[in-house]
Amino acid sequence: MGQETDAIRLQIERSQYKEHSVPLYLTSSYAFDDAEDMRALFAEEKEGNIYSRYSNPNVQELLNKMSALEKSEAGWATASGMAAIFTLFGSLLSAGDHIVSCRSVFGSTHRLLTEIFPKWNITSTYVDFDQYDLYEQSIQPNTKIVFIETPSNPGLDIIDLERLAAICKKKNVLLVVDNCFATPIIQRPIEFGADVVIHSATKYIDGQGRTLGGIILSSQEIINKLEAFARHTGPSLSPFNAWILSKSLELLPLRMERHSQNALAIAQKLQGNTNVEWVKYPHLESHSQFEIAKKQMKWGGGIVSFEIKGGLENGRAFLDKLKMFSLTANLGDTRSIATHPASTTHSKLTPEQRAEVGISDGLIRLSIGLESLEDIWQDIEQALKNG
Ligand SMILES: *Cc1c(COP(=O)(O)O)cnc(C)c1O
């Protein structure tokens, strides 16, 4: 089936009430027919629901759809994107193991790798996004995972999935891709050889800024390993949030197309503005990894970053002048959002440290929403004007 069909029609079975839209199964546990049914379910001799920390129909529907969209065998859902990353690493790694990661990762992922996992003697090495030889050289005998984000946040750097997957195969380590910025509508890392895909469903999967959620997609073998860990540590996604996220998926193909159309148009307009130093967007020809982005991404996605002339001061002034854009710590929403990393998420770093992860003082990250394109551009244009 096409992605649009899967996102809409992969519903769980109708109940005796023949509802057309899937109902919400708010239940913490499930009834057994008799003692034998109960025994067989616990012995895993038959499939079925026991307890909602393990499984729930709404969660299952979300996973069925996401597996179909990402072309994975199986999946697991968690309460947030970070819970997905923690559950994956926690279930596959032991003390003494090692991770190789691209340098620019989501802030909390960075904390996990540098502050939390070292407590359990799980260490990591950062590599600049396009140093393919260095990824290979950094893989040690105890390395189990290579972790990347592409496009990266907020730098929008692109990593060649096919090339890195070949290196990981050769070295027998798992390639894990945080596919949050692209979603499976735009990019399917498993088709390029990745072993695991992670999502913060909080972003485009929900798409309307309502819930948190996380999803892990991989082979049945890896999901089985992960299940044993997740069942007993309890990072479960709530049925209510799963229901919202599954409903959201019905419009994901349409939303991603419009997000990308709007973002490309804004990126092109920004390129011609005299108060803008440079613009970065995966599907702009001026992007230094444009060819790779074209190969692995159907569209360019909804995030645009640009450098405003005048550094830190003008970056802050730009945010203050915006009238419609939201200033908020989220992305992938129907509403357009602007952030200025140097004065917010990365303000504790020195300018040199910021430069290392590709964050200059005038860098603005825009999450382009689904409002009228003319209104989005008008707001940006008036905020860019001096004085
Ligand atoms: C937001 C985000 C996360 C974390 O997801 P939460 O749902 O906030 O826990 C991880 N990776 C990327 C790229 C993100 O943008």
pLDDT in tens, 283-310: 999 999 999 999 999 999 999 999 999 9
Contact between 223 and 74 (Cβ < 8 Å):
yes
pLDDT tens for residues 325-346?
Answer: 999 989 999 999 999 988 888 8
- Angle ∠(202,291,163) on CA atoms, nearest 5: 75
Instruction: Tell me how far apart the alpha carbons of residues 350 and 355 are, in angstroms, rounded to a whole number.
Output: 9
Provide the residue type at 173 as one letter.
V
Confirm or reject: Cβ of 365 under 6 Å from ligand 1: no
Q: Return the beta strands (E) in the chain as ranges.
A: 74-78, 98-102, 123-127, 143-149, 174-178, 196-200, 214-218, 276-280, 303-308, 337-339, 363-367
Q: Indicate the pLDDT class of residue 215, thresholds 50, 70 and 90.
A: very high
> What would the mean pLDDT of 233-240 be, rounded to a whole number?
97
Confirm or reject: Cβ of 200 under 6 Å from ligand 1: yes
Residues 6+ apart with CB under 8 A from 43: none
**Which of 153, 180, 339, 365 maximizes ligand 1 atoms within 8 Å of its Cβ, making it the mutation to test the pocket?**
180
- Tokens 């959620």 belong to 213
Structure tokens at 224: 């089985």
CA of residue 363 to ligand 1 center, whole Å: 20
For the chain, domains (ranges, CATH) are 3-249 (3.40.640.10), 252-386 (3.90.1150.10)
Ligand 1: which atom is nearest the Cα of residue 331?
A: 15
**Which of 78, 80, 82, 305 maximizes ligand 1 atoms within 8 Å of its Cβ, making it the mutation to test the pocket?**
82
Confirm or reject: Cβ of 316 under 6 Å from ligand 1: no
What average pLDDT does the chain have?
A: 95
- Angle ∠(63,6,169) on CA atoms, nearest 5: 60
Looking at residue 353, its pLDDT comes to 81
Please, is 258 exposed, middle or buried when counting C-beta atoms within 10 Å of its C-beta (0-12, 13-18, 19+)?
Answer: middle
**Helix 81-92 × helix 220-233 angle, to 10°:** 110
**Residue 37 host element (H or E):** helix 35-42
> What would the mean pLDDT of 101-130 be, rounded to a whole number?
95
Q: Long-range contacts made by residues 57-60, C-beta under 8 angstroms, separation at least 24? A: 57/12, 57/25, 57/239, 58/12, 58/22, 58/24, 58/25, 58/239, 58/240, 58/242, 58/243, 58/246, 59/236, 59/237, 59/239, 59/242, 60/12
CA dihedral 119, 238, 179, 260 (to 10 degrees): -140
Instruction: Name the residue with the closest Cα to ligand 1, atom 1.
Output: 200
Structure tokens at 160: 């060649």
Structure tokens at 358: 């590709």
Contact between 106 and 113 (Cβ < 8 Å):
no
pTM: 0.96
Whether the per-residue pLDDT at 85 is higher than 90: the answer is yes
Residue 13's φ and ψ, nearest 5 degrees, are -55, 145
Q: Indicate the pLDDT class of residue 387, thresholds 50, 70 and 90.
A: low
- Tokens 């140093």 belong to 131
CA of residue 43 to ligand 1 center, whole Å: 36
Looking at residue 164, its pLDDT comes to 98
Residues 6+ apart with CB under 8 A from 155: 104, 129, 280, 305, 357, 358, 359
The number of C-alpha atoms within 13 Å of 367 and in the hemisphere containing its C-beta is 26
Ligand 1: which atom is nearest the Cα of residue 105?
A: 13
Provide the residue type at 110 as one letter.
H
Confirm or reject: Cβ of 206 under 6 Å from ligand 1: no
**Which of 113, 157, 200, 210 maximizes ligand 1 atoms within 8 Å of its Cβ, making it the mutation to test the pocket?**
200
Ligand 1: which atom is nearest the Cα of residue 149?
A: 13
Instruction: Tell me how far apart the alpha carbons of residues 300 and 256 are, in angstroms, rounded to a whole number.
Output: 9
> What would the mean pLDDT of 139-153 be, rounded to a whole number?
96
What percentage of the chain carries pLDDT values higher than 90? 90
